[in-house]
Amino acid sequence: MGFFDKIKKAFMNEKEVKPAELDATEEANDASEEPAAETNQEEPKTLESEQEQLSAENSQEPEPQAEPEANIEVEKEIPSTTSVEKEEAAEEIVVQEKYEKGLEKTRKTFGERLNELFANFRSVDEDFFEELEETLIGADVGFDTAIKITESLRQEVKLRNVKKPAAVQNTIIEKMVDLYEAEGIGENNALNIQKDGLTVMLFVGVNGVGKTTSIGKLAHQFKQEGKKVLLAAADTFRAGAIDQLVVWGERAGVEVVRGNAGGDPAAVVFDAVERAKTENADVLLVDTAGRLQNKVNLMNELEKIKRVIQREIPEAPHEVLLVVDATTGQNAMSQAKQFKETTDVTGLILSKLDGTAKGGIVLAIRNELHLPVKLVGLGEGIDDLEPFDANDFALGLFKGLLKEE
């Protein structure tokens, strides 16, 4: 089942489930009221009756102990896989809800743009298609992506003779989903974690995009998984960058290898790699400077860091993750392009996705840069950095925008 079919199914299920949920709630309320009435009738008791009841309870043998034993036996009969499956299902629901909530602003803004578009046009003509291009570009899906979607819609409208606004809107979403899915074919969104030995990840990105915060959150996740994690504070030029990483290290419960402010970043990384090998660490996360305004210096610095790492671990770094701020929209695209030219970026972390109406930038990144989004920030909590899931993203972005035709 493709993404669009899943979104349609989610939309139909949402329409069908709501009345049943209301009925179930009413039944539960009715059922909860009856015991309350019975309890109220039994409340008036005399002091003597209470004393008699208390003495009777004291004289009885401790039979209630049999109840926990029965419960324990029942629990033992349930296969362990059942509880594991339930936990996994519960986690999936939580993640889906995070995506839906995190993309709420984007979904609402895009829906408003579509409503405005259809309010201004009574027929699907050339002016409509031109306005649609502007609408899609305004939704931060990117210029090239907007052109592709509009051209595809032109052909589909002619082929299927689509005229109703609801049908046209559904077709627009279908084309966006189809393009999104097609661009993601063969894309590997999983982090490259080594099964044996040390995994080294470099983090790059301009100041203020949430790079250090993302490192701290990812360190927390790895620590929760039972991995031995070290952080390297190689952003030695920005005031407060080292201290900020130390604070996140304390929150995540992992140690930070640091040097002096203004020192050589490569020297810090060398110390971190040596310590990680000595302590048999599983993961080393390296924070780097993001002085994009001076590409030559930045490139030289990153190359020096890579050489230091590869002298000890030839196949490392295993990831070079670019952190971009989703709230900046097309500026994030511009940063991604420049960093891609400067260094070998293996994937993106899209931070602050929950605080923006510009989540459509993921479509542009997929279509124009062909870089996989590996992690997304869906909240401010330490547990709110999630692995990117294309299915959950598509559902979160478009669910609720489909119309009944």
Top-confidence residue, 16 or 208: 208
Provide the pLDDT for residue 73: 41
pTM (predicted TM-score): 0.74
Indicate if the pLDDT at residue 297 is higher than 50: yes
Chain centroid, CA 182 distance in Å: 21
Q: What does the alpha-carbon distance between residue 233 and residue 245 come to, in Å, rounded to a whole number?
A: 7
| Cross-strand pairs, 243 | none
Q: What does the alpha-carbon distance between residue 332 and residue 338 come to, in Å, rounded to a whole number?
A: 10
Q: What does the alpha-carbon distance between residue 168 and residue 390 come to, in Å, rounded to a whole number?
A: 24
Q: What does the alpha-carbon distance between residue 203 and residue 351 come to, in Å, rounded to a whole number?
A: 13
Q: Which CATH number describes the domain made up of 199-389?
A: 3.40.50.300
Start-end of H helices in 184-256: 211-224, 241-252
Q: What does the alpha-carbon distance between residue 275 and residue 269 come to, in Å, rounded to a whole number?
A: 10
Q: What does the alpha-carbon distance between residue 343 and residue 302 come to, in Å, rounded to a whole number?
A: 8
Helix (H) or strand (E) holding 200: strand 199-204
Start-end of H helices in 60-142: 66-77, 80-102, 104-120, 126-138
Of residues 39, 384, 38, the one with CA closest to residue 213: 384
Provide the pLDDT for residue 238: 79
Alpha-carbon distance values, 261 to 241, 290, 333 (Å): 9, 15, 31
Indicate if the pLDDT at residue 184 is higher than 50: yes
Task: Using a pLDDT cut of 90, give the percent of the chain over it.
Answer: 27
Provide the pLDDT for residue 25: 44
Q: What does the alpha-carbon distance between residue 22 and residue 61 come to, in Å, rounded to a whole number?
A: 45
Exposed e or buried b per residue across 68-83, where buried means at least 16 C-beta atoms within 10 angstroms of its C-beta: eeeeeeeeeeeeeeee
Model confidence pLDDT, tens digit, residues 365-405 = 877 888 888 999 888 889 889 998 888 888 887 877 777 76
Give the pLDDT band of residue 288 (cuts 50, 70, 90).
very high
Q: State both tokens at 326.
A: 């989703």
| Range of weakest confidence among 11-25, 64-78, 348-362 | 64-78
Top-confidence residue, 54 or 232: 232
Give the pLDDT band of residue 227 (cuts 50, 70, 90).
very high
Q: What does the alpha-carbon distance between residue 14 and residue 306 come to, in Å, rounded to a whole number?
A: 50
Cβ pair 401, 169 in contact under 8 A: yes
Amino acid of residue 183: E
Average pLDDT for 165-176: 84
| Range of weakest confidence among 31-45, 90-104, 363-377 | 31-45
Model confidence pLDDT, tens digit, residues 308-318 = 999 999 999 99
Q: What does the alpha-carbon distance between residue 192 and residue 178 come to, in Å, rounded to a whole number?
A: 27
Provide the pLDDT for residue 81: 57
| Cross-strand pairs, 351 | 325
Top-confidence residue, 58 or 287: 287
Q: Compute the mean pLDDT over every residue in the chain, rounded to the nearest whole number.
A: 79
Sequence length of the chain is 405
Model confidence pLDDT, tens digit, residues 240-249 = 889 999 999 9
Provide the pLDDT for residue 316: 94
Q: What does the alpha-carbon distance between residue 394 and residue 174 come to, in Å, rounded to a whole number?
A: 11
Cβ pair 350, 99 in contact under 8 A: no
Provide the pLDDT for residue 64: 46
Provide the pLDDT for residue 6: 63
Q: What does the alpha-carbon distance between residue 212 and residue 242 come to, in Å, rounded to a whole number?
A: 9
Q: What is the DSSP letter of 199?
A: E
Provide the pLDDT for residue 13: 62
Q: What does the alpha-carbon distance between residue 123 and residue 75 come to, in Å, rounded to a whole number?
A: 63
Indicate if the pLDDT at residue 263 is higher than 60: yes
Provide the pLDDT for residue 318: 96
Of residues 401, 330, 395, the one with CA closest to residue 368: 330
Cβ pair 356, 109 in contact under 8 A: no
Average pLDDT for 213-242: 93
Model confidence pLDDT, tens digit, residues 317-328 = 999 999 988 888
| Range of weakest confidence among 61-65, 290-294, 299-303, 340-344 | 61-65
Average pLDDT for 31-41: 44
Q: Could you identify the residue written with the tokens 């015991």?
A: 35
Average pLDDT for 91-109: 82
Model confidence pLDDT, tens digit, residues 115-164 = 888 888 878 888 888 998 988 888 888 888 889 889 988 888 888 887 78
Phi, psi (rounded to 5 degrees) for 110: -65, -40
Give the pLDDT band of residue 289 (cuts 50, 70, 90).
confident
Task: Using a pLDDT cut of 70, give the percent of the chain over it.
Answer: 77
